[in-house]
Structures are given as C-alpha cells and as structure tokens.
Amino acid sequence: MLITDLCVGCTRCVPYCPSGAISIGKDKKAHIDRNKCVECSVCYNNANCPVNAIQPEELEWPRSVREVFATVYKEHKQTNVPGRGTEEMKTNDVTGRFRPGEVGFSVDMGRPGVGVDLKDVEKLTMALAKVGVEFEPLNPLTFLMSDKKTGKLRDDVLSERVHSCIPEFKIKEEKFPEVLETLQRVSKEINSVFSLGICVKVNPDGSVPIMKYLNEHNIYYLPNGKTNIGIGKPAAKF
C-alpha cells in the first residue's frame, strides 16, 4: 500500500491501520512504515481518504506473501478457501477430518492484532516438527515450507511480516501434553503472540475427552468457542 503526494495530512487514515504502521511525518503528510505494514488494505478500504491518496501497489515476491495472509476475501489458489487457514472443524460433519481420539491444533500466530515475523513462525514450526507434528497440507502456510518434515520455511520469505498465519495440524490425543509443552516453550522465544485453538469431535454420548483432560490439569480455556451443529451433508462416517 502506498500513500501518494496527494496526501493533505488530514490524519483520517492513521487510526484505521491495525498494525499502527501509518504516522504523520515532519512534512505533515501520512507515511506508511513498510516494515510494519502487512498489506491488509484496511486503510484503503475503510478510511475514505478525501483525496484518494492511499493506493494499492503491485506487490512482487516475497512481499506479496504479506497480502496473501492479510486480505480476508482473497481465496487461496490451492484450497479455494478465503482467509488464512482451512475449513478445519467447520466442515468436520462432512469431511470427517478430526476423528475420535484426535486433536486438531490451529496456532493463530500474530493474533490478536500483533502481527508476526515469518522467522518467528519458523521457530515454532521447526519445534513442532521435532516432536513429530505433520502440518495440514492444504494450509496456506504449509505451501511456504521448503521442508515439511522439518517445518523449515523458504529462505526468501523469512524477512517478511504477516498479520497472522496459522500452523495447523492434528495429533493423537495422547500426544497433547508434549505438543502443548512445546508450544508453551516456543511462546517464550518469539517476539509476538499466538492464540491457540484446538478442534475435537464430540463423542456420541456428548462427552468431550479433551475437556476432561484440560479440567484435570487446570489448563485454561475460554468459556466460549465454536460448535459445529452437525447438519452438513453427506454426513461423514465416524
């Protein structure tokens, strides 16, 4: 995103930037910090610049990675799914992706609202790979890996920063403590945050084994979350 010389310094666009990348310079015009900007287009789409000074630019690789992980309604070519992740549990009633005894993870890196350097993302994906995690092949982040076995990202994207990206994977339930410990350890080594989500299939009797584990081990979880109500068709067989 660019702010052209048309800018009259009205400051209207400044608060719209979720990354705090827009500021007013000594020349009394708005400027975008290119390192902080994640190419989300929120300023362009919402600030209603009175002189149309905010303009999108043609982004070249690897900077274009920022836009892919920030522009909500652009679908990813490989998945046909808009956004930064996959359908995960949202279509589990049809896909059967998460089966009894499995736990899906979505590590929302950079959220809420902080953003994340891809070199920090790599720290996490490589640590997870070391404990045997296999990443969801259809997740857009997995396409940036040069080695899916080690979680290594392509070297040419490592200096990029994204609004958020979501390492996704599933494990057998018994592996949950080891993976959680890994995530907790790496969370202390990165210069960002992540919001952690887990996906599970509810048992036919209505019980949720992972919740029992979370309660027994005093692991915090939010009282609110997402519930797939199971009316999709054709229904997956479990």
Partner 1 sequence: MTHTLHRSGTVESLSIDYPVLVIAAQGINSKDSAPKFRKALEIILKHNPVNFGDMRTGNYFRKGLKPILNSTKENSIVHGVFTNKNDLEECLKELKEADLGLSVVVSGLFSEVWPTLKNIGLKPHSLNISLGVFGKKELLPEREILDITTMCGHHCVSPLLVKKMISDIKRDKISIEEAARELAKPCVCGVFNPLRAEELLENILKKPGGQS
| Residue 156 C-beta: closest distance to partner 1, Å | 25
Long-range contacts of 206-209 (CB under 8 A, 24+ apart): 209/101, 209/173
228 touches partner 1 by CB under 8 A:
yes
- Residue 82 in contact with partner 1, rule: CB under 8 A: yes
Shortest gap between Cβ of 200 and partner 1 (angstroms)? 5
Nearer to partner 1, 156 or 181 (CB): 181
Does 68 contact partner 1 by CB under 8 A? no
Rule CB under 8 A: choose which of 25, 112, 132, 177 binds partner 1: 112
Rounded CA separation 69/10 (Å): 29
Stretch that binds partner 1, among 29-37, 58-66, 148-156, 219-227 (CB under 8 A): 219-227
> Site residues for partner 1, window 147-176 (CB under 8 A)?
163-164, 166
Which of residues 10, 14, 127, 158 is near partner 1 by CB under 8 A?
Answer: 14
Q: Which of 93, 117, 122, 136 binds partner 1 (CB under 8 A)?
A: 93
Are the C-beta atoms of 129 and 149 separated by less than 8 Å? yes
CB 118 within 8 A of CB 158: yes
Q: What is the DSSP string of 9-51?
A: ---TTGGG-TT--EEE-TTSSEEE-TTT-----HHHHHS--TT
Compute how many other C-beta atoms are within 10 angstroms of the C-beta atom of residue 126: 16
Residues 25-64 that bind partner 1 (CB under 8 A): 40, 42, 45-46
CB of 153 to partner 1, least distance (A): 18
Q: How far apart are CA 55 and CA 44, in angstroms?
A: 7
Stretch that binds partner 1, among 56-64, 125-133, 145-153, 209-217 (CB under 8 A): 209-217
60, 216, 229, 237: which one binds partner 1 (CB under 8 A): 229
Q: What part of residues 115-154 is at the interface with partner 1 (CB under 8 A)?
A: none
Q: Does 188 bind partner 1 (CB under 8 A)?
A: yes
3-state secondary structure of 169: strand
| Cβ-proximal residues to 170 (8 Å cutoff; 6+ apart), any chain | 97, 98, 102, 103, 104, 105, 136, 199
Question: Least distance from C-beta 186 to partner 1, angstroms?
Answer: 9
**Among 20, 25, 132, 137, contact with partner 1 (rule: CB under 8 A):** 20
- Is the backbone of residue 48 left (phi > 0), alpha (psi -120 to 50) or beta? left
Neighbours of 124 (CB within 10 A): 23
Give me 11's structure tokens: 């400051």
Among 31, 59, 62, 79, binds partner 1 (CB under 8 A): 79
Number of residues that bind partner 1 (CB under 8 A): 79
